[in-house]
Structure 1
Amino acid sequence: MAVPCNVITGALGVGKSTAIRYLLQHHRPRGERWAVLVNELGAIPVDHAALSVDDNVVVADLPGGCLCCTLGAPFDQTVERLLRQERPDRLLIEPTGLGHPARVLETLREGRSAKAVDLKATITLVDPRQWRSGELADHPAWWDQIELADVLIANKADLAPSGDLAAFMGWAADLFPPKSRVEITRDGQLNPSWLDEPCDSGRSPLFPDAHASTDGGQLREPEPVTEGVWRACGRGLGQRSVGWVFAAATVFDRQRLLRTLGELRPAQRLKGVFRTGRDWLLVNGDRDGIRAETCTWRADSRLEVIGNADAEALEAALLACRREKGRV
């Protein structure tokens, strides 16, 4: 039987991973096994830590670049492997927020696993403030994330001025071809029924050649910088990234860590998981600030930053957040 599959798109920091985590924690039917395939821009995957909520969730990472531009064959192969080995009841795919969804959908329709996938609604999250400000207007991939959406969602509605939200909803209602649904939510709280809306294969990208000028990027393997610490830098899709991995024994001072990350500018997006005493914290940061919650990850501490952060200064600040050995 073909496995229901959704592609969940949206710009950096709009709340895609938060929405998927919400679905996994609150709306996955009892006993079902779900798979999530995540495409992260940088070389240090963090979403695996964020989304591995229990043993019935399988997370696969494809770091670096766009799923279809630089990772075309690995993407197709990974989908095939997930379906064959894990036999999930549903597959969720999260491309990088800077990526173009057109060929992802094309691969799912025509690739090696086309017959094994029941392609459902493409869901796109939009921050109404970004839409109203026009800050993403020069990004063809963002426009096509909207154009190819079956379900279009205004997320972070609690943070958007009422005028921005109303203007976006009015504009979205007039889109052609019309969306199956245009919805409003906050904190990525998706209604699970939206997943089963149909996928309209007749939707076409406005910028089909946007891939031609896409910078596939360069990633470096993590390199040791001091005992128990590794760093990896990269660039791709017009952005720079830097990430760190810290040995599992490393313990961070929670308050000092959150203060350090909260002062990080400029950075478009940061994600991390850190051991802070007996708890491990999942940390997300964007223009709306730093948010932290406990998580089940226990393998190591790690951080990925997208933007023009001063890597050397941030590294020094992170190292200064470590607790002395023996203190937990």
Structure 2
Amino acid sequence: MTISTTIITGFLGSGKTTTILNLLNTKPSNEKWAVLVNEFGEVGIDGALLSDSGALIKEVPGGCMCCAAGVPTSVALTALLRQQPDRLIIEPTGLGHPKEIIALLESPQFAPYLTLNATIALVEAKHLSIPRYVENDNFNQQLSVADIVIANKADQATEQDRQRFEQWAKAQTPPKQHYQFSEYGNLPLSLLDTTRVLEDAAHSQDPHNHHHHDHAQQQPQFELTPQQRYIRKQNQAQGYYSCGWVFGAELVFPYQSLFDSLSALQCERIKGVINTDEGCFSYNNAKGMITITPITLEGFETRLELIHSAVLNWEEIEQNLCQLVSL
């Protein structure tokens, strides 16, 4: 019996992880689900956020699944399949090409074990009016290969944004199987079982015709050694730059000072799982929309990732972070 598999894709900050968390919270109690997470950054934030969900979680940080971490992706996917979950959800990076992960899942290595359902793409309706998004190759690929398109964060969309999204969705050829608006990533579970129609989507582009990451041959995961208090890792591709830090679990940040500092940064995306003197929190800043949520992780290292369309002063940011924990 094959494992029902769904790709949930979407550009940076579209709400993929929140959507998956909501789906996991409503899954049937007798089912075992697995999630394979890929991130553009190196420090594995999303996997930490999902780790308390009760699902089987594997991470492939450090770029798109196909080029930056092809072998680690296959290893992680195989490890999940060996545990025979009832359902598999795959979250590619918001800066990756979904056609390549579709091609991997359809390859002889994995096709006998999976039933690939309709791909779901999340989009913010307001982005369809912003040239930087509608001219971005990844953004357009994510929408083109999707059978289902969800205009997430509908509460932030104007009436003009909503009309533009509906006009776009109705004009697609071949037509989308389903499209709708959503708030906070709330989707019906039934969408996960929608049959895939865009059978040739994965083969319409040369899988090597895209930007590779500088560290494609390196190990994508990195951890603190016993002697290290923190480490930093950087990545760049597709016109974006990321810098991430892992701080040892023994280091506790002052809640107010840290979040004041993060909120003051001019950065397109900041996300983290952070130990503070008031407990453990997830921090998500997507283009100025900030969410701080308490989570139940204990003894977990602080992980912080910044992603921006220009290089920031990483050294200064790091110095400020270190000062907050007296390093």
* 1:1-328 mapped onto 2 (5 Å cutoff): 1-25=1-25, 27-54=26-53, 56-84=54-82, 86-204=83-201, 208-209=205-206, 211-218=208-215, 228-265=229-266, 267-298=267-298, 299-307=300-308, 308-322=311-325
Letter in 2 for 1:141: N
TM-fit CA distance, 1:166: 1.2
Per the TM alignment, residue 210 of structure 1 is displaced from its structure 2 partner at its CA by 7.4
8 Å CA contact 2:213, 2:235 repeated in 1? no
User: What 5-or-longer segments of structure 2 have no aligned partner?
Assistant: none
What's the CA shift for 1:138? Answer: 2.4
Q: Give the CA RMSD over aligned residues.
A: 2.2
1:98 Cα shift?
0.8
Distance 1:320 1:103, change over 3 A: same
Report the TM-score when normalising by structure 2. Answer: 0.90
Q: Any conservation in 1 of the 2:59–2:76 contact (CA below 8 Å)?
A: no
Report the CA distance between 1:297 and its aligned residue: 2.2
1:143 & 1:44 partners in 2: Cα distance?
Answer: 26
SS in 2 for 1:62: strand
Percent identity between the two aligned chains: 35
Q: How far off its partner does 1:72 sit?
A: 2.6
Q: Give the whole-Å Cα distance in 2 for the aligned partners of 1:261 and 1:278.
A: 17
1:206 and 1:31, CA in 2 relative to 1: closer, same or farther beyond 3 A?
closer
CA deviation vs aligned residue, 1:34-76 (integer Å, no higher than 9, x gap): 111111112211111111124x311111111211123233323
* Deviation (angstroms), 1:29: 1.0
Superposition deviation, residue 107 in structure 1:
1.4
Shift of 1:277: 2.6
| Counterpart contact for 1:143–1:206, Cα < 8 Å | no
Alpha-carbon separation, structure 2, partners of 1:304 and 1:222: 15
CA distance in structure 2 between the aligned counterparts of 1:203 and 1:186, rounded to whole angstroms: 31
Counterpart-to-counterpart distance in 2, 1:113 and 1:125: 25
Structure 1 pair 189–96 and aligned structure 2 pair: CA distance change class (3 A): same
Q: Is the partner of 1:102 in helix, strand or coil?
A: helix
SS of residue matched to 1:190: coil
Q: Distance in 1 between matches of 2:190 and 2:141?
A: 23
CA offsets 1:273-298 (integer angstroms, 9 cap, x no match): 11123521011111132211011222
Q: Distance in 2 between matches of 1:3 and 1:29?
A: 16
**Secondary structure of 1:36's partner?**
strand
Task: Count residues in correspondence.
Answer: 319
Q: 1:99 to 1:321 in 2, by over 3 A?
A: same
Q: Which amino acid aligns with 2:81?
A: L
Deviation at 1:188, TM superposition (A): 1.1
In the alignment, the residues of structure 2 paired with residue 229 and residue 274 of structure 1 have an alpha-carbon distance, to the nearest angstrom, of: 13
